[in-house]
Amino acid sequence: MNDQPIIPDGIHLDYTQNDTTREQFYSQYPLLNDEEVTTQLPFLLGHNDTVTEKLAMVLGVWKPIHMTSPVCDHPLAIMDARTFSPDDERPLGLHVKFFRFSFKTLKVYILAAHSVISNIVHRASQRWWYYSMQRTDEVLVFTHYTRGKHFATPHGTFTNPHCTRDMDTRRSVEMRVGVFV
């Protein structure tokens, strides 16, 4: 498991809400055939849809872990999805190369993973919230993606200048849940 760095002031969506953009991107950059890398993307492309059940939304479940103090610096900030507009979204293709060592063949392989996320343009009408002093026993659930609707929760972190030095650096975990209906 790779630890993700805290990136303050990086407002984004983990998944573009534009299904056409996503389909075009992955037709040009196919999914890597590696279960560790592609566990989330196939269901966004409809690979897990059935005749009776289709992906309706992807939820994010976010919580602090292994902290002795509440989260003060770099809390998760989320936009009210009702104030998010398609015009706010700027899809961005990410291309990452990494090394994988095979114990079976005793070789190192260079793999490339591709993903399309979205950066967010600020508008004065957007409403933003954050969970002040969130504790490890508290969970925040928000919408990453909703099929057929432009209803998602852009998010990011920010530097809070009001934290004291004795407070822990934020450590958190985020899980994703696919909702099929």
Mean pLDDT, contiguous 10-residue spans, the chain (181 residues): 52 90 87 57 84 95 95 94 94 82 80 84 95 95 92 92 92 92 95
Q: What is the pLDDT of residue 113?
A: 75
With residue 60 as reference, give the H or E element that holds it.
strand 55-64
- Asked if the structure places residue 118 within a domain, the reply is yes
Question: 6 lies in a domain?
Answer: no
125 inside domain: yes
Gap between the Cα atoms of 139 and 134, Å rounded: 8
Is 157 part of a structural domain of the chain?
A: yes
What's the total number of domains in the chain?
Answer: 1
The radius of gyration computed from the CA coordinates of the chain, to the nearest angstrom, equals: 18
The predicted pLDDT at position 33 comes to 61
Q: 98 is in which domain, residue-wise?
A: 12-180
Q: What is the pLDDT of residue 119?
A: 92
Is there a domain that residue 3 lies in?
no
Q: Does residue 50 fall inside a structural domain?
A: yes
**Residue at 25 is within a domain:** yes
Contact yes or no for 159/8 (Cβ under 8 A): yes
- Can you tell me the distance from the alpha carbon of 157 to that of 120, in angstroms, rounded to the nearest whole number? 13
Task: Report pTM.
Answer: 0.81
